[in-house]
Structure 1
Amino acid sequence: MKKCLMLAIVVVMCSFQPVKPVKIVFFGDSITEYGVKPDGFITLFQQKLKDNKQEGNYEAAGAGIGGNKIYDLYLRYEDDVLAKNPDMVVIWVGVNDVWHKRLFGTGTDWDKFAKFYTALIKKLQAKGIKVTICTPASIGEKTDYSNELDGDLNRYSQIIRDVAAQNNCGLVDFRKLFHEYALKNNPQNKDRDILTVDGVHLNATGNKLVADVLYKTLIK
């Protein structure tokens, strides 16, 4: 009887394996790079995990580099993402693919953008990683689509929506969410200082909105 009891205790103890937290890597450009600052969206996301007692179930890390475009992400995904052994990857890129056309005469043609994005997703999915992709939010915050690059940004955002549907990815449509927010909160039609400091990079309100949206989307 005692032997049976001891065996049962051993079996029960062995069955309680420590829960491995789901590791999320945020992968992108300078917006993501700044996300790990004290008031950045990744830091706020991590704080929300703690506040909701989820820090034992999820871990979050950033892998953002300023100036990156989609092909930069493709070239460094092994060293900067796979090396972290993620279960989930959130890709937020596209601003520089559009913006750098005007700033530096570079950028990424729309057809190459779609091909690189699809290839990157397939590489990650082949490793069993769940992928969520995000549309670029803004290059200027005017609500009447009079920002210089609104046309291109809308086109690239639609490419991302299509790529998400075609590759069974999660989608966070920041382009749509930021525009809807600005319609309610930007009556003066300003080009910055609503959710960004310069029309692109997030201010405190923008970081909070992004952290809240990503938390609701990713944490089930």
Structure 2
Amino acid sequence: MPLRVPADSTILFQGDSITDTSRRTQPGDGLGNGYVRMAADLMRERPQPCELTFLNRGVSGNRVADLVARWDEDTIALKPALVSVLIGVNDTWRRYDSGEVTTTADYERDYRGLLSRVRDELGARILLVEPFLVPVEEEQWDWREDLDPRIQVVRRLAEEFDAALLPADGLLNQAAREHGGAPAVAGDGVHPTPLGHAVLARAWAGLVETA
């Protein structure tokens, strides 16, 4: 069942570069040029009146611990009615390119702490986007050993916090099969192409209704 939010709500997107999409360097409204903007446009195109405010606070390179460090300023202080979170692939990526390990237990602890604050301090609705990987290099298949448990954490947290769940990993890998391979959806396996962002945006908008 879709999440229902008042038509004059503030909706906040949190995450890493997949959410950021140059929102801090481009002129304009700060939504970036990826799935956040596309999802906002889809919501605004609906026939029912919509006075939603969309905020993007994704920061390129962030891991879950980075969200913890800026959660007061970039989430709690903004008082959104809906918080959408996509975080986790950098927690995996840094293990393989830098040897910096975020254990699954630490990831789950920090993620649960973020969501607990949203529930307890804001009473906001929550939408969780699975971290995902669409391997384009053979060695990226090895990353799944680290990423797949994080995806399971997000699914458990969605159940625990009665959050909407966007199953991005399966959706994007299926889109890759339908459109000629992984580079069509995520050129480096992590960052979506315009097609990949569109897949995410359509799925995101399908999970949210205004009341």
Give the TM-score band, short-chain normalised.
Answer: 0.7 to 0.9
Q: Is the 8 A contact 1:139 1:149 kept in 2?
A: no
> The residue matched to 2:191 in structure 1 has which SS?
coil
The superposition leaves residues 53-86 of structure 1 with CA deviations (integer Å, 9 ceiling, x where unpaired) of 4573322111111111111111211101122220
Residue in structure 2 matching 1:197, options 166, 187, 200: 187
Q: Is the 8 A contact 2:136 2:187 kept in 1?
A: no
Q: Is residue 49 from structure 1 mapped to residue 43 from structure 2 by the alignment? A: yes
* Matching residue's letter, 1:210: L
Give TM-score, length-normalised by structure 2.
0.84
* Matching residue's letter, 2:192: L
> Highest CA radius of gyration, 1 or 2?
1
> The residue matched to 1:60 in structure 2 has which SS?
strand
Q: Which runs of 5+ in 1 are unaligned?
A: 1-18
- Structure 1 residue 109, shift from structure 2 partner: 0.4
Residue in structure 1 matching 2:55, options 38, 47, 61: 61
> The residue matched to 1:171 in structure 2 has which SS?
strand
Q: Is residue 218 from structure 1 mapped to residue 208 from structure 2 by the alignment? A: yes
Structure-1 separation of matches of 2:160 and 2:45: 35
Percent identity, aligned pairs only, is: 22
The answer for the alignment partner of 1:161 in structure 2 is 155
Change (3 A) 1:89 1:156: same
The answer for the alignment partner of 1:28 in structure 2 is 15
Q: Is the 8 A contact 2:172 2:199 kept in 1?
A: no
Q: Is residue 97 from structure 1 mapped to residue 91 from structure 2 by the alignment? A: yes
Structure-2 separation of matches of 1:121 and 1:29: 17
> The residue matched to 2:85 in structure 1 has which SS?
strand
Residue in structure 2 matching 1:174, options 168, 173, 193: 168
* Matching residue's letter, 2:165: L
Q: Is the 8 A contact 1:35 1:43 kept in 2?
A: no
Give TM-score, length-normalised by structure 1.
0.81
- Structure 1 residue 118, shift from structure 2 partner: 0.7
> The residue matched to 2:14 in structure 1 has which SS?
strand
Matched length: 197
What is the alpha-carbon root mean square deviation over aligned residues?
A: 2.3
Q: Is the 8 A contact 1:49 1:55 kept in 2?
A: no
The answer for the alignment partner of 2:131 in structure 1 is 136
Q: Is residue 113 from structure 1 mapped to residue 107 from structure 2 by the alignment? A: yes
- Structure 1 residue 182, shift from structure 2 partner: 2.4
Q: Is the 8 A contact 1:22 1:86 kept in 2?
A: yes
